[in-house]
Structure 1
Amino acid sequence: MRSTEMNEQQPAQQSEQKAEQKAEQKAPHTAGAFDIRTFIAGLMGLFGLILIGAGLFGPERTADSVTEGRPINIGVGIALLVFAAAMQGWAMWRPTVVDAPASEE
């Protein structure tokens, strides 16, 4: 009796597993770390940190006619960090949805 019950349960379990796999395949997912905005945010953030470091620990600033003695590296570095935060916030707020590949049936 046990073997017939097990035989009846196996097809039911297999059909449930197939249905779950189809649902997973059809469900759209987000690009996550592969979103271009994430790459841009990471690079701009890194460049911003490098510029802030160069502005703080670099050679002494001289009175230049263009910058008028202002710490331009620090200002641009902060602007890049703000831009990077905005890009990452945008990527998290409106993630890119990737369609599931077409299944062969």
Structure 2
Amino acid sequence: MTSTERTRRAAAFDIRLVIALLMGVYGVVLTVLGIGFTTDAEITKSAGVNINLWAGLGMLVVAALFALWTWLRPLRVPEPAEPPESAESGEPTT
């Protein structure tokens, strides 16, 4: 297994991508609700601000920042230390 393959496998479990995915899904849902399904009565109750729309857009921005952070600073897995080998038999010592 090469170090590039190991890095890709480790990056699949990077918590930053999980957070970006969750924030992105919730952001899309809130943005769609804010654009299409928020009534004037709900906007009046929230001091004239479409909270769903603004919260959704904010979550999409945060999701994009997390994804950008993951792309700019990828997870690096250190190489495992090789055990010293025996000079006589060629097998690792314990």
TM-score using structure 2 length: 0.70
Question: Shift of the alpha carbon at 1:29?
Answer: 2.3
Match of 1:81 in 2: 60
Query: Greater relative contact order (Cα 8 A, min sep 6): structure 1 or 2?
Result: 1
8 Å CA contact 1:29–1:99 kept in 2: the answer is no
Distance 1:56 1:68 in 2: 17
Does structure 1 residue 29 correspond to structure 2 residue 7?
Answer: yes
**2:74 aligned residue (95, 99, 104):** 95
Distance 1:101 1:61 in 2: 60
Does structure 1 residue 39 correspond to structure 2 residue 18?
Answer: yes
* Superposed CA RMSD: 2.4
More helix by share: 1
The residue matched to 1:40 in structure 2 has which SS? Answer: helix
- Provide structure 1 residue ranges, at least 5 long, that are not aligned to the other structure: 1-20
Does structure 1 residue 51 correspond to structure 2 residue 30?
Answer: yes
**What letter is aligned with 1:71?**
N
**What letter is aligned with 2:7?**
H
Match of 1:12 in 2: none
For 1:13-28, list aligned pairs within 5 A: 24=2
Say if 1:28 and 1:100 are closer, same or farther in 2 by CA, change over 3 A.
Answer: farther
Larger Cα Rg: Structure 1 or Structure 2?
Answer: 1
